[in-house]
Structure 1
Amino acid sequence: MKKLKFDPYYQRYPSKRNLIFGHKGMVSTTHPIASQAGITVMKAGGNAFDGAIAAAAALTVVEPTSNGIGGDAFAILSRDGEILGINGSGRSPQKLTIQWLRDNGYDKIPKYGPLAVTVPGAVSVWAEINRRFGKLPLDEVLKPAVEIARDGHVVHTTVARYWKQALERYSELADKPYINPWFDHFTMEGRTPYPGELWKSEEQARTLELIASSGGESFYRGELAEKISGFIKASGGLMEKEDLAAHHAEWVKPITTSFRGYDVWEIPPNGQGITALMALGILDRLEKGHIEDPETIHRAIEAMKLGFEDGNRIIGDQDHMDDSWRAVLEPEYLSMRAGLITGNARLPLDNQPKRGGTVYLATADGEGNMISYIQSNYWGFGSGLVVPGTGISLHNRGYDFVCEERHPNSLLPGKRPYHTIIPGFLSKDGKPIGPFGVMGAYMQPQGHLQVVLNSIEFGLNPQDALDSPRWQWVGGNNIQVEKSFPTELAEALARKGHDVSVNLDTGSFGRGQIIWRDDNGVLCGGTESRADGYIAVW
């Protein structure tokens, strides 16, 4: 194939897997059943946005280990050439303050339990995207997820593994009464499902039906809101019905930076997407590199560390910030930061990345609509709270608040915390190219950086861009690499002062999806080989 000005299928290296193409519709997720749910809705007359909501709802059923109805969501949408963003992260309860925590013996919000729960925003994102851009009513869009929950689905390998890990983790909380509904709902005879075993949830099916029939209202201002707030308060939390009723998903203008002539888009703070943009902006001021060049990888690692340094310093809820944070994307500032990169590893300011649980998906249709969508319960199943009788597992995003009054991410009533989940999008010369993302808490901006480098700098097709061995900065000068990472490259990084180790847990390196669209409207997708990734195409 002749190399075009932008040809997303061009590659310098032989592809390890066949590429997936389509032109009427494409859904790329971490689970075959969720991808099929999305494409089913699109074939029934829905667009890419309907397909994304259908897939997202299905993922709460088939991959409860990483997301749920009680989680948060963000998305970047492309419609008629315009790129839009939506922030569905929820706020802290009005009664929860730093002083309350101190008065009750806490120096920070616990990782698990009712205090970690902020208002879940995923349902509001489903409802708002459907209201503004959907072609089908919400009850039709959520119908596949309802059927999957009611009729059952076969549990896949990756999900079964994380489900078992959650059981081991939550068993340590067995003395906490709030954990009992999790065991009641998500275990069978004291164990979790095996790979290939059928799993059903009539409770979750009924909850999805209530959400569908009410346009999401029941979750925030109706029957489900009553149950959510009631259980949180009964468990020792402070969330009131009024906290849920005040929530709404917010349309935002995505932020962007230029990299090698392309525009990379992210959601603005309180998300950490700006961290990836800073790193890319820094690299854009350095010479181009090669995928097998240790200096290129070294510079990428150093740029990522600088991005995290600044991100940790500035990211918080925009409602509680001035606009000074935007200065970190200014050319002069990025050039100054690029000047700090030398030939050796630099010890960064103290910032220790963490881990979490998230799902990412991408969809596109034949009309040119595309969406980059991410949804999460954070630490696996989240807080450990499952609202009795609903199948709603509540996330624990409040855990990331800082209990320091002057910090941009300090806890305040009705505030959104620093958020790790970030959807990405790529365009060039005003034309959308497509959605991409890599889930996995603080691996996410690092995954975005590596996917963009693989795609633009190294010329890899979508599938190879995802399959390429990854590295991960984990604090200090410590770098973890996958088993498949080239040994000679790892050794060269070590000589530059990086403390390199091999991590055999491929899941810790994130799980991604990509869909690129060419000038002829042809879609090309990539899905994650580190999970049960699947592309449904039409």
Structure 2
Amino acid sequence: MRQVVMGTRGAVATSQPLATFAGIQMLLAGGNAIDAAIATAIALTVVEPTSNGIGSDAFALVWDGKLHGLNASGRSPRHIPVETLLNAPRMPDLGWKTVTVPGAVSAWRSLSERWGKLPFEKLFEPAIEYAEAGFPVSPETARAWQRAEQIFTPLSGAEYQPFQAVFFPNGRAPRAGEIWSSPNHAKTLRSIAQSQGESFYRGELADAITQFAEQTGGWIDRTDLATHQADWVTPISTNYRGVDVWEIPPNTHGIATLMALNILEGFDLTQFPRDSVESFHLQIEAMKLAFADVDRHVSDPASMIVSAADLLDKTYAAQRRQLICDTALPETSSGLPKGGTVYLAAADQNCMVSFIQSNYAGFGSGILIPGTGIALQNRASGFSTQAGHPNQVAPSKRSYHTIIPGFLSVNDQPIGALGVMGGFMQPQGHLQMVVNLIDYGMNPQTALNAPRWRWFAKNQVLLEQTVRSDIAIALTDRNHQIQLTAEPSAFGRGQMILKSGKVLIAGSEPRADGCAIAF
């Protein structure tokens, strides 16, 4: 089991050691935490393509004396076939119907322009080297790649052929330890670096994206790309036992963590051991109630009827708390009126960054732009096909988004950055990390090491096999439908950097290949 690392000058924590090293290189070159975070994010598009890519979305929380939020999620195409999709039972998972405008490149540029010390082009150097020279595929990434074989290799449409050729050469995924490279990925990164991202949204890369869409039945066009922008947003928060917990506001579901914490605040978790049926039960039930509201109301904020302030109202949380009893709630619904991911943290003495980017479900849409290495996300699959729902699929709209960076502070002073990647596990992971830190006094690494639970639907709960058997049995007695699994990817993959005085304390997820480095 990994141990916490400490330093005073800088720290980087990611799910891939090569990406962590890319960030450390920037710090050693005289850059700051922003430079380190961007270089790490760019490197991750190469060394962990199973979770993110150049065609990803991204969000960030940055502390420079105050907390800033960046929403770099893209919108659906102007000409997305809404009427056809609204007649479907659900959004598709693959293909052009799932593609939204990628926002990660705009996040890199926006962060660098506002805070970066190093030249933008320098931040791309490690990733370009990995893409050109190749790198050994790490074990957990190889496992994810192999799981994707059965999804992507059988696809027969012309739109999927470039993707298959790049990621599944010879019809299979690379194995752990095999060298994988992507020269076209390197070429594209050079173009983005030299043009400050302009080539992606208004230049040669934008042309390549729209031309392939026209040839293979996609709807994204030059206007969709040219009008994209990353937005600075005001982070949302709740105070949990004296600690301010921060998230990006909707269209993300980070608000679910804050709502669940508001509900939990009325229970004294410290009277129960961290690994106990009582503690697990209360956390699961609070999370279920929060997700019921989030599922009904969270969308592009322009489409939301119920506000974030309404969802975070502590009087409302107290009402929801009364629903929790000794047994699992069989059904949960909103109590208000109707209305594949990589995470990294970086820090120095002046700045802390909580950053996340993702193609959504694993590799994303299965669409790769020929000759570029740009694998496009499938974020449109996060829309609802229910007419009248706030998250109903529509043109030029941001979908419900699962990726969420987190941050903690006390009395306007930073405690640090945290995140747990993994779709709908993310708010649940954030909740468990906050409870581990605040209620049970764990350090970043022990908080990440601890056994986890994951709620799915109704009473269905997945437990890590490291959870004690007596807890699993007791939860079953409380009407939770329990399933145990040894699959680490089911419980998310987290990173954390906290600050105590001048000391940076970093931890990295034991369920992934990554590491934390502090110096």
Q: Which TM class, normalised by the smaller chain length?
A: over 0.9
- Identify which of 259, 275, 278 aligns with 2:256: 275
Q: Which moved more, 1:417-426 or 1:487-496?
A: 487-496
What is the CA–CA distance in structure 1 between the aligned matches of 2:219 and 2:490, rounded to whole Å?
33
1:54 aligned partner, one-letter code: A
Q: Deviations over 1:240-281 (max 9, x none)?
A: 110000100000011001111101000000000001110011
Contact 1:316/1:417, CA 8 A, preserved across alignment:
yes
Q: Tell me the residue number matched to 1:31.
A: 16
Counterpart check, 1:184 vs 2:165: yes
Matches within 5 A, 1:299-310: 299-310=282-293
359, 364, 389: which one pairs with 2:347? 364
Partner SS state of residue 189, structure 1: helix
Note if contact 2:82-2:395 (Cα within 8 Å) is conserved in structure 1: no
User: Quick one: distance in 2 between partners of 1:130 and 1:319?
Assistant: 28
**Which residue of the other structure, out of 95, 103, 112, is the alignment partner of 1:121?**
103
CA distance in 1, matches of 2:239, 2:221: 43
Q: Secondary structure at the match of 1:286?
A: coil
- Going from structure 1 to structure 2, the CA distance change for 1:299 and 1:108 (only over 3 Å counts) comes to closer
Q: Which residue of 2 aligns with 1:4?
A: none
- Match of 1:63, as an amino acid? E
Q: How many residues align?
A: 512
**Does the CA contact (< 8 Å) of 1:314 and 1:325 recur in 2?**
no
Question: Could you tell me which of 260, 271, 277 is aligned with 1:294?
Answer: 277
Q: Distance in 1 between matches of 2:192 and 2:372?
A: 11
- 2:424 is aligned to 442
> Equivalences for 1:98-497 in 2 at 5 Å?
98-101=82-85, 106-173=88-155, 175-289=156-270, 290-322=273-305, 324-349=307-332, 357-366=340-349, 368-497=350-479
Judge conservation of contact 1:62–1:153 (CA < 8 Å) in 2. Answer: yes
Shift of 1:343: 1.1
**Please, which moves more after superposition, 327-336 or 61-70?**
327-336
Q: Percent identity?
A: 47
Q: 1:361 Cα deviation (Å)?
A: 0.5
Q: Which segments of 5 or more consecutive residues in structure 2 lack a partner in the other structure?
A: 335-339
Which one is further off, 55-64 or 140-149?
Answer: 140-149
Q: In 1, are the aligned partners of 2:499 and 2:505 still within 8 Å (CA)? A: yes
1:77 to 43, 46, 62: 62
Retained in 1: the 8 A contact 2:153–2:164? no
Q: 1:188: Cα distance to partner?
A: 2.6
Q: Distance in 2 between matches of 1:424 and 1:310?
A: 20
Match of 2:73 among 73, 89, 92: 89
Gaps of 5+ in 1: 1-15, 352-356
Cα distance between partner residues in 2 of 1:235 and 1:398? 18
TM-score (norm 2): 0.96
Contact 2:506 2:518 (8 Å CA) reproduced: no
CA contact (8 A) 2:504 2:518 kept: no
User: Is the CA contact 1:120–1:395 (under 8 Å) kept in the aligned structure 2?
Assistant: yes
Residues 99-156 of structure 1: per-residue CA shift (max 9 Å, x gap): 1446xx7554321001110000001000000011111121011111111111111111
Name 1:6's counterpart in structure 2.
none
Cα distance in 2 for residues equivalent to 1:468 and 1:398:
33
Return the alpha-carbon distance in structure 2 between the equivalents of residues 296 and 144 of structure 1.
44
The SS at the match of 2:171 is: coil
User: 2:15 is matched by which residue type in structure 1?
Assistant: T
SS at match of 1:441: coil
Q: What residue number does 1:8 align with?
A: none
SS of 2:108's equivalent? helix
CA drift at 1:294? 1.6
Alpha-carbon distance between aligned partners in 2 of 1:293 and 1:184, rounded to the nearest angstrom: 49
Partner in structure 2 of residue 13 of structure 1: none
Deviation for aligned residue 1:45? 1.3
Give the corresponding residue for 1:41. Answer: 26
- Matched residues in 2 for 1:141 and 1:17: separation? 28
**Which one-letter code corresponds to 2:59 in the other structure?**
F
Name the structure 2 match of 1:503: 485
Matched residue, 1:19: 4
CA distances 1:435-470 after superposition (whole Å, capped 9, x unpaired): 000000000000000011111101111111001000
Q: Which SS does the other structure have where 2:359 is aligned?
A: strand
